[in-house]
Structure 1
Amino acid sequence: MDNFRRLIQILVTVLTNAYLLFPFGSVIYQGPLKSLCHPGLHCYSCPAALLGCPIGAFQNLLCTVRLSMQAGTIQFGASIVGYLGVFGVLTGRFVCGWLCPFGLVQDLLYRIPSPKVKLPAFLSYCRYLVLLLLVIILPLFWIDELGMGQPWFCKLLCPSGTLMGAMPLLLLKPSLWQSIGFYFWNKFTIMMLIIVGSVFISRIFCRTLCPLGAFYGLFNRVSFLSLQHDSEKCVHCRACERRCPTGCLPYKNPNSADCIRCLKCLQACRFGALDYKLRSGVSVAFPRRTEH
């Protein structure tokens, strides 16, 4: 199952970054597909990107909300929130485990042989602070003399934007090096810390700083796809806990906001104590480990 998930991650990343004319055109694809958002963390400015970034699009709407109100229209990004909400209601954080390009980057980095470090659980709350402060509050209330805000998550933190957007653009257009300053080097430093940290700590960005993961995580307890724990079958061997890439305890909290629906716990359980079901009670036929 893990190999199948990795294949899906790679296919989604390749297919949503399939604009191969960037060396010959305007570098960034700006066709009709760019009006659609990727459900995962996906940089709009990546030269090969066909889809937009949901966090960036939501921030841009909040940045211009005052101007839109002055023009007689009010746009708070309801369509984008609704779009992401559909994914959240249906599957919770399934997008994080299966469809997010930067999730794939972290998974591959964690495969590098190295001592592995356990992340303190309280750090998972930091992603909600990022969502509230950098994605919503600052773009909405910290405005310039024209009444516009700034997309602060993209500007200050987003490692996907630096890795897949800024760095390829600098390689394709060396003249851009003259315009880089504090914001680039700040984000570059953060990106390098996350890359190095991902070698030692599984999904470090997803668990501590990703606002998209924070948003999807809000739906884990109510999504149609849910993880069910059968206490009568569970022997508390904690194999599911050891396999979980985000530090969840499926036998205690099967639909934790940290769960990325990667199914590793399902594969680890030899006693059938875990099962993914729809809210109607219908089991989802995922392959599972069996005793011989």
Structure 2
Amino acid sequence: TATLYQGSLKSFCVPVLNCYACPNALFSCPIGTIQHFMVTGHFPFYALGTLGVVGSAVGRMTCGTLCPFGFFQDILYKFRTWKFSLPQWVRWFRYVVLVSLVFIIPYITHENWFSKLCPMGTLIAGLPWVTLNVNVRSMVKTMFWVKISILLFFVTTSTMTKRPFCRAVCPLGAIFSVFNKASFLKLEWNADTCTRCGKCQKICPVDIRVDREPNSIDCLRCLDCTRCPSVKLTTIFTKEPFKKAESYPGVGREEREEVAVR
């Protein structure tokens, strides 16, 4: 029978979405930690401070390089199914989730409501416990099937659109996103060499046009776009990493030169 580790490492939260209740979890989830403090009526200085330090340094890079649920969605998107793009306005829903399900509702109801509904928790904790532990299996009720339905919804939509949970729901991504434009690490785009081919958007897991907004609040900092020589990872101390060129929206380098001559 599986057992839950409750040692000293559980006092630390890691900067990626995970689940305290996962049978193999060694650390705590930052969103779960924030909810815990709200439920007990205390401000989550420790959790928000940890996330603030990480966000100030790398922005959303942990979302793009370390998050297991994000990786899971990337794999699902590779399935050959009908595809569609999410509208830009869905990005704001994750802030609604953050404020309501992580802060306000847990404080009022004294219940960790985001954790109760989180598809990541269902995948790596709920399903394993029900599968491995007979005693837990006997306690399955309606709420468990609600959680399974939410997980199946995101599994299905992830095969058709890029990272729907990360873009529309994830409260941790919402927290890190506010640091993207001012973090120590940042992306620079070279207008002088970019041909506006659009390949950066095609490979981007969240459909960003790097030539328009290299440090978008949606950017996961996965660095896939840096395969292109026109995009580069720099720091806030880098001076003029690329030669600045006059911008002609939607026009490549050769066309800009022709415009300049005219």
- Normalising to structure 2: TM-score of the pair? 0.88
Instruction: Say whether 1:51 aligns with 2:27.
Output: yes
CA distance in 2 between partners of 1:197 and 1:79 (Å): 34
CA shift, 1:100, in A, is 0.9
1:24-47, Cα deviation, whole Å (9 max, x unpaired): 6xx111111111112101111000
CA distance in 2 between partners of 1:258 and 1:283 (Å): 24
Contact 1:276 1:283 in 2 (8 A): no
* Partner residue in 1 for 2:215: 255
CA distance in 2 between partners of 1:165 and 1:133 (Å): 23
Structure 1 pair 283/45, CA: closer, same or farther in 2 (3 Å)? farther
Contact 1:275 1:283 in 2 (8 A): no
Residue 128 (structure 1) aligned to one of 72, 88, 95: 95
1:156-195, Cα deviation, whole Å (9 max, x unpaired): x200110101111111212223322232221110001101
Instruction: Say whether 1:233 aligns with 2:209.
Output: no
1:180-224, Cα deviation, whole Å (9 max, x unpaired): 223222111000110111111111110111000111111000001
DSSP-derived class of the 1:179 partner: coil
DSSP-derived class of the 2:111 partner: coil
CA shift, 1:115, in A, is 3.0
**Counterpart amino acid of 2:7?**
G
CA distance in 1 between partners of 2:29 and 2:119 (Å): 13
* Partner residue in 2 for 1:34: 10
Residue 278 (structure 1) aligned to one of 222, 235, 252: 235
* Partner residue in 2 for 1:193: 153
Contact 1:277 1:283 in 2 (8 A): no
Residue 77 (structure 1) aligned to one of 21, 28, 44: 44
Superposed CA RMSD in Å reads 1.6
Residue 159 (structure 1) aligned to one of 113, 119, 123: 119
Report how many aligned residue pairs link the two structures: 241
- Normalising to structure 1: TM-score of the pair? 0.79
Identity percentage of aligned residues: 40
Long gaps (5+) in structure 1? 1-22, 66-74, 144-148, 285-292
**Counterpart amino acid of 1:150?**
E
Long gaps (5+) in structure 2? 242-262
CA distance in 1 between partners of 2:14 and 2:120 (Å): 13
CA distance in 2 between partners of 1:113 and 1:35 (Å): 42
DSSP-derived class of the 2:187 partner: strand
**Counterpart amino acid of 1:33?**
L
